[in-house]
C-alpha cells in the first residue's frame, strides 16, 4: 500500500495528538473534584480514583471481548458476569478470575437481580440485539453507566427511548461501534470532513461477508443450561427453529436484524459519519432476499439499501454469498468526492485515491482497546461528550439498518429479471441500477439465476419525528409488541 514519508509523519502527529489529548484528560481526572458531580441529577457511578466495577451482561463470543477490555486493567474490574446460560456464565467467571489475579466475579442469571447491586458502576451489554435497548434502559434507570453493543436497538423507537433515558438520568452510554475510536479511522474522517476529497456525494458501505446456511428449519431443543424465558425477554416465547441456539438468532427477525444489523452496522455507521449526517435520512429504499440456499434463517443475505440525504446518498450492499471485493474492499466503505475517493478496508486502515485511481494518502492504526478506554474516560469525567460513540450516534446508525429492513420487509416479491425495471424511480448519485447490475452478476457467479426477490417501496421519512410520512404500515414497524414485564417505557414513563 502506498505511503509517503509526509503521510507517515502526519499520521504519527495525529496519533501523538490523540494520545496527548487522552493524557491531558486523564491528568485532569486526577484533579477532578467531587463538586463536579453536583451537575448530576443522580449519584455518581464512580469516583475518579476508584476502580470502576463492571458487570458484563451476555458472556457469549462478544462478551469475551468485553471481558478482555475490562478485566485485569488498571482502572476497571469485572465484578459480575450476567448470563441466562449458566454454563456460559460460570465458565466466563473462571476465565475472568485468571485475568484478574484470582478475583472471581459473581455469576448472576437475571439482569434485574444484577441491577439491584449498588456496588456495580457500569455494565457492558453483549446480549442478542433484542435485549440491547431494554437492558440498557433498565441499567441506566438503576444508575449504571452502560457500554452497549451495536446495534443499540432492535427497532427505531426503542433506540430513541434509550437516548432519552440516558440523557434524563445523566448516564454515560457508549455503543460498540469501535471503529470510531481508532486513530486511523478518525484521521480518515477528519480528512474527508476537511474537504480532502472535495464535496462528498456518496458513501458506500460494503458487507461482503460469506455466510453459510444455518441449517434446516425445524423444531430444536433449547440447551438445558439456558433460561429461555429470560433469553427471550422482550420477544415472544417461540419454538426454537434453528439448529444452533447461540449466535444464529442474528438471522431471525424476532431477535436479530440480519447482516445489516450485525456486521453491516459498523459500515453503516462509518458511512453516515463520512456524510456528516446526524439524523435519519429523507428517504429509504431496499431490495433483497435470502438466496442461494433455504434454511432456518429469515433475514436477507443479499441486500441493497439506499438512504437519501438530498444531494448525498448512503448506499449499502450486503452479500452473504462468496464474492470478490469491490474497489479493494469487502467489509469496508468507499466514500466518493468531487476530487477523489477514500476506501477503508478495515476498522482502521484505508487509502485515499485521486480521480485517476492513484493512491495519495493512507490511514492506519487502532484496536478495540481504544474504545474501551474511551468509555472509561467518559465515565470518570461524567461527560458523555467525551465518548467517540455516544448512544445517540449509535441510535442513528442502528435506525438506518432498521429502516432498510422495513422497506425490504414491505417489498413486492418479483422475479430477479424484473428488478431493473422497478428501479427507474430510485434516483440519485449512488446509481442504484449500477449497484443492482453488479449484484445480479454476483448472484449469477454463485449460480443463482432464477430467483424471486423483494423490492421495497421508497419510503419518505420525517427525520425529526423519526417516523414515515404517509405509510402507517411502515410506522407500525418502528416498534414491536413487547412481552409483559419486558416493555420499553413510554417517553413520559422513563
Ligand atoms: N462490536 C463488535 O465488533 C461486535 C462483535 C461481535 C458481536 N457483537 C454484538 O455483540 C452481541 C452478542 O453477540 P455474540 O456473538 O456474543 O452472541 P451470542 O449469542 O454468542 O452470545 C450472547 C450471550 O448473551 C446471553 N444472553 C441472552 N439473553 C441474556 C439476558 N437476558 N441476560 C444475560 N445474558 C443473556 C446468551 O445466553 C449468550 O451467552 C450482539 O448484539 C452482536 O451484535 C459486536
The contacts found for 415-420 with CB under 8 angstroms, 24 or more apart, are 415/450, 415/451, 415/452, 415/453, 416/440, 416/443, 416/449, 416/450, 416/451, 416/452, 416/453, 419/287, 419/453, 419/455
pLDDT of the residue at 50: 87
Instruction: Answer for the pair 308, 281: CB distance below 8 angstroms, yes or no.
Output: yes
* Burial bucket for residue 74 (CB in 10 Å: 0-12, 13-18, 19+): exposed
Dist. CA 64 → ligand 1 center (Å) = 10
* 178 C-beta closer than 6 A to ligand 1: yes
What is the grid cell recorded at 236? 415472544
Q: Per-residue pLDDT tens for 414-428?
A: 999 999 999 999 999
Instruction: Answer for the pair 161, 133: CB distance below 8 angstroms, yes or no.
Output: yes
Ligand 1: which of 110, 126, 159, 255 to mutate, most ligand atoms within 8 Å of CB? 126
205 closest CA partner among 327, 287, 352, 298? 327
pLDDT of the residue at 49: 72
Q: Which domains does the chain have, with CATH numbers?
A: 36-180 (3.40.50.720), 183-366+390-484 (3.30.360.10)
Instruction: Answer for the pair 438, 319: CB distance below 8 angstroms, yes or no.
Output: no
pLDDT of the residue at 44: 61
* 58 C-beta closer than 6 A to ligand 1: yes
> Residues 168-197, buried b or exposed e (16+ Cβ, 10 A)?
ebbbbbbbbbbbbbbbbbbbbbebbeeebb
Dist. CA 152 → ligand 1 center (Å) = 12
Q: Can you give the pTM of this predicted structure?
A: 0.92
* Residue in this structure with the C-alpha cell 446526524, named with its chain if needed: 278
402 closest CA partner among 153, 233, 221? 153
Instruction: Answer for the pair 378, 172: CB distance below 8 angstroms, yes or no.
Output: yes
| Phi–psi pair at 104, nearest 5 degrees | -90, 130
| Phi–psi pair at 461, nearest 5 degrees | -125, 140
pLDDT of the residue at 236: 98
Shortest-distance atom of ligand 1 to CA 177: 1
Ligand 1: which of 113, 127, 185, 367 to mutate, most ligand atoms within 8 Å of CB? 127
* 127 C-beta closer than 6 A to ligand 1: yes
Q: Which residues of the chain have pLDDT under 70?
A: 1-45, 47-48
* Burial bucket for residue 488 (CB in 10 Å: 0-12, 13-18, 19+): buried
pLDDT of the residue at 444: 98
What is the grid cell recorded at 38? 453536583
Amino acid at each position: 500500500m502506498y505511503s509517503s514519508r509526509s503521510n507517515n509523519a502526519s499520521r504519527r502527529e495525529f496519533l501523538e495528538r490523540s494520545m496527548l489529548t487522552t493524557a491531558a484528560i486523564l491528568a485532569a481526572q486526577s484533579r477532578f473534584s467531587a463538586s463536579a458531580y453536583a451537575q448530576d441529577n443522580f449519584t455518581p457511578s464512580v469516583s475518579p480514583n476508584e476502580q470502576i466495577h463492571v458487570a458484563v451482561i451476555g458472556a457469549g463470543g462478544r462478551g469475551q471481548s468485553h471481558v478482555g477490555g475490562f478485566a485485569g486493567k488498571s482502572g476497571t474490574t469485572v465484578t459480575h458476569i450476567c448470563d441466562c446460560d449458566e454454563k456460559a456464565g460460570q465458565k466466563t467467571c473462571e476465565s475472568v478470575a485468571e485475568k484478574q489475579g484470582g478475583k472471581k466475579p459473581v455469576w448472576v442469571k437475571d439482569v434485574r437481580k444484577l441491577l439491584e447491586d449498588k456496588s456495580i458502576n457500569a455494565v457492558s451489554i453483549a446480549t442478542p440485539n433484542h435485549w440491547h435497548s431494554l437492558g440498557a434502559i433498565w441499567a441506566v434507570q438503576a444508575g449504571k453507566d452502560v457500554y452497549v453493543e451495536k446495534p443499540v436497538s432492535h427497532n427505531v423507537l426503542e433506540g430513541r427511548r434509550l437516548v432519552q433515558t440516558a440523557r434524563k438520568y445523566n448516564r454515560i452510554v457508549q455503543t460498540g461501534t469501535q471503529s470510531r475510536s481508532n486513530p486511523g479511522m478518525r484521521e480518515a474522517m477528519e480528512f474527508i470532513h476537511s474537504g480532502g476529497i472535495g464535496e462528498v456525494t456518496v458513501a458506500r458501505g460494503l458487507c461482503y461477508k460469506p455466510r453459510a446456511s444455518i441449517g434446516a428449519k425445524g423444531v430444536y431443543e433449547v440447551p438445558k443450561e439456558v433460561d429461555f424465558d429470560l433469553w427471550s425477554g422482550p420477544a415472544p416465547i417461540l419454538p426454537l427453529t434453528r439448529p444452533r441456539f447461540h449466535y444464529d438468532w442474528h438471522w431471525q427477525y424476532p431477535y436479530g436484524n440480519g447482516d445489516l444489523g450485525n456486521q453491516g452496522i459498523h459500515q453503516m455507521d462509518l458511512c453516515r459519519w463520512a456524510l456528516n449526517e446526524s439524523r435519519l435520512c429523507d428517504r429509504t429504499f431496499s431490495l433483497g432476499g435470502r438466496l442461494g440456499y433455504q434454511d432456518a434463517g429469515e433475514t436477507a443475505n443479499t441486500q441493497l439499501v439506499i438512504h437519501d440525504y438530498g444531494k448525498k446518498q448512503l448506499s449499502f450492499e450486503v452479500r452473504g454469498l462468496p464474492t470478490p471485493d469491490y474497489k479493494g474492499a469487502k467489509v469496508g466503505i468507499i466514500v466518493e468526492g468531487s476530487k477523489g475517493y477514500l476506501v477503508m478496508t478495515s476498522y482502521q486502515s484505508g487509502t485515499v485515491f485521486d480521480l485517476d485511481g492513484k493512491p495519495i494518502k493512507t490511514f492506519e492504526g487502532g484496536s478495540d482497546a481504544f474504545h474501551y478506554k474511551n468509555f472509561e474516560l467518559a465515565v470518570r469525567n461524567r461527560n458523555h461528550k467525551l465518548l467517540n460513540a455516544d448512544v445517540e450516534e449509535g441510535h442513528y446508525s442502528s435506525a438506518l439498518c432498521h429502516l432498510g429492513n422495513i422497506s425490504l420487509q414491505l417489498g413486492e416479491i418479483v422475479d430477479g429479471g424484473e428488478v431493473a425495471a422497478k428501479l427507474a424511480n430510485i434516483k440519485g448519485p449512488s446509481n442504484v441500477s449500477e449497484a443492482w447490475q453488479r449484484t445480479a452478476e454476483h448472484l449469477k457467479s454463485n449460480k443463482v439465476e432464477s430467483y424471486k426477490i423483494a423490492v421495497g417501496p421508497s419510503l419518505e421519512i420525517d427525520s425529526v419525528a423519526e417516523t414515515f410520512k404517509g405509510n402507517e404500515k411502515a410506522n407500525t414497524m418502528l416498534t414491536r409488541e413487547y412481552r409483559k414485564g419486558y416493555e420499553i417505557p413510554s417517553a413520559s414513563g422513563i
